[in-house]
Structure 1
């Protein structure tokens, strides 16, 4: 299978980066093709600007968006790896979705509702957070986040979410717990792919 990993964390020493390395290594070990789009490393511009709308309306896709859409088109599986900041996606990843998953490419509005152009692709989300599992369970945040990403982004464009894994209390857990989280990433790859 062809896997596109969209990675959104500015610190190359972060636990998110360890998740990226683990996921990429496990997929390649199993013979999958993997492309990584490190949004900070490529200095992706997350701002959906007036010029983007003008270009879209004229049937022209800005070159940076077109390059990312080619990666999306290539992939069988699209994985987002990101920290949860303010109970949502980091701005750079939200901007990636706004610019790359554009109307006319990822979806359009048809006479019968939304036409989903990314149908047939699978989606995987791996999210880290500082808060505890207990706090997120009690507040209903896990379900809220799944609604906005799994349903509001992936399902809206036709991508089938195969899993959304949450790794909680990352700054405060011990190394043994972090190691267990990385083992869970490997097990997830073995189970799903």
Structure 2
């Protein structure tokens, strides 16, 4: 399988970074082809400029700095995202990636008659998410109604017209859990991606 991984965390020594590394190893050991992007290390620019935004209303040239990300997205059969949940959402770096890379003509088509947008990432068959949050599970899932899951698995996944399988793995209260709990969750992530 061809897998595009997108990692968005500024600290290379974070728990999130270790989860990301484990999944890369698992997928490569399975024989998958992996294109792995570390948005912070690659100095991805998450800020959409005015001219780029105007281009969203109709056909426009793709900014040169986005080409590598778009090529990987259109090549992949699966996408996996790694990020911490901050303020009940994804980091600005990752949000900017979606704003700029998952653009009209790439992730979806805008009908000229103003009808429903049409999915364009028909090559993506699987989507995975590994996230951590400092909030407890009840706050994220019950009180906030799991906004990250909704955005990625209801919103963005709908751009992938043939998605057959998805994973959403979240570790809650990450700042206060024990080392043993971190190891246990890491093993769970590895096992789930071994079958991904």
**Matching residue of 1:155:** 158
**Matching residue of 1:12:** 12
What SS does structure 2 have at the residue aligned with 1:41?
A: coil
Do 2:44 and 2:93's aligned partners in 1 also have CA atoms closer than 8 Å?
Answer: yes
In the alignment, structure 1 residue 83 sits paired with structure 2 residue 87: no
Q: 1:92 to 1:183 in 2, by over 3 A?
A: same
**Matching residue of 1:46:** 46
Q: Distance in 2 between matches of 1:51 and 1:120?
A: 29
Q: 1:159 to 1:148 in 2, by over 3 A?
A: farther
Q: Distance in 2 between matches of 1:157 and 1:32?
A: 20
What SS does structure 2 have at the residue aligned with 1:152?
A: helix
Task: Name stretches of at least 5 consecutive residues in structure 1 with no aligned partner.
Answer: none
Matches within 5 A, 1:124-139: 124-139=128-143
Structure 1 moving runs of 4+ over 2 Å: 53-59, 109-112, 134-138, 156-161
In the alignment, structure 1 residue 108 sits paired with structure 2 residue 109: yes
Task: Name stretches of at least 5 consecutive residues in structure 2 with no aligned partner.
Answer: none
Displacement of 1:95 in angstroms is 0.3
**Matching residue of 2:23:** 23
Size of the aligned set, in residue pairs, is 191
Do 2:137 and 2:172's aligned partners in 1 also have CA atoms closer than 8 Å?
Answer: yes
Q: 1:40 to 1:159 in 2, by over 3 A?
A: farther
Q: Distance in 2 between matches of 1:166 and 1:159?
A: 24
**Matching residue of 1:60:** 61
Displacement of 1:58 in angstroms is 6.2
Displacement of 1:66 in angstroms is 1.7
In the alignment, structure 1 residue 176 sits paired with structure 2 residue 180: yes
The two structures have a TM-score, normalised by structure 2, of: 0.90
